[in-house]
Chain A
Amino acid sequence: GAVVSQHPSWVICKSGTSVKIECRSLDFQATTMFWYRQFPKQSLMLMATSNEGSKATYEQGVEKDKFLINHASLTLSTLTVTSAHPEDSSFYICSAGDRDRNNYEQYFGPGTRLTVT
């Protein structure tokens, strides 16, 4: 149990275009989902917390107009990187909090490698 999927697993896009990444909890309901970014050989940095049916909460320094987050259902959250630039190239990972465990335990997706050329 506790499986989280992400799609796509990798994407290459041109500078100035937008990219959407999906995060799904496959076998549990997630009231809260989290989006992280990870640069090579660094740890995970939380970008935003996404709650089903409400606006996302962004961490300090993360541009909410650039990283659009939508959490439309208890099993799906999306991250859209708008007007992507090469510096947005990174490994994006989502996690989902198991509602039945009061979000105490978070399960991570496999990540999405974004390369902006």
Chain B
Amino acid sequence: EDQVTQSPEALRLQEGESSSLNCSYTVSGLRGLFWYRQDPGKGPEFLFTLYSAGEEKEKERLKATLTKKESFLHITAPKPEDSATYLCAVQSSNTDKLIFGTGTRLQVFP
């Protein structure tokens, strides 16, 4: 069964304190791994898609990496506006469905 586990469940960081969020997955043939950001009361905002192990993508202070078993979302020198829930999802090769993890709630305080 396809499964996604995210850790930690919640993370509090001081502004400028870099850290990483983890997404472990098991899937029958990975088509893609997705990272989304979700603010309270809003829909998820697309961040990255990773397709194969070794791939990396960057956007501002965020960098996503992928191995055969997990993905990391690295946050460099975060700012309070980076506070949100970060969701990881996988898509297997035989379906268009996304399987979501439970998310990591990130709080960055000044």
Chain A residues with CB under 8 Å of chain B are 2, 4, 6, 32, 34, 42-44, 46, 49, 91, 93, 95, 97, 103-111, 113
Contacts and interface: CB of A to CB of B under 8 A. Distances in A.
Contact of A93 (B44, B91, B97): B44
A43 B46 contact: no
Nearest to B43: A108
Interface SS, A side = strand
A23 to B, nearest CB: 10
A2 B42 CA distance: 16
B2 to A, nearest CB: 12
Interface of B: 31-32, 34, 36, 41-46, 49, 87, 91, 96-98, 100-103
B101 to A, nearest CB: 6
B99 to A, nearest CB: 8
A2 B43 CA distance: 14
Nearest to A109: B43
A106 to B, nearest CB: 6
B100 to A, nearest CB: 5
21 contacts: A34-B97, A43-B87, A43-B100, A49-B97, A93-B44, A95-B44, A95-B98, A104-B31, A104-B32, A104-B91, A105-B32, A105-B34, A105-B46, A105-B49, A106-B46, A108-B46, A109-B43, A111-B41, A111-B42, A111-B43, A113-B41
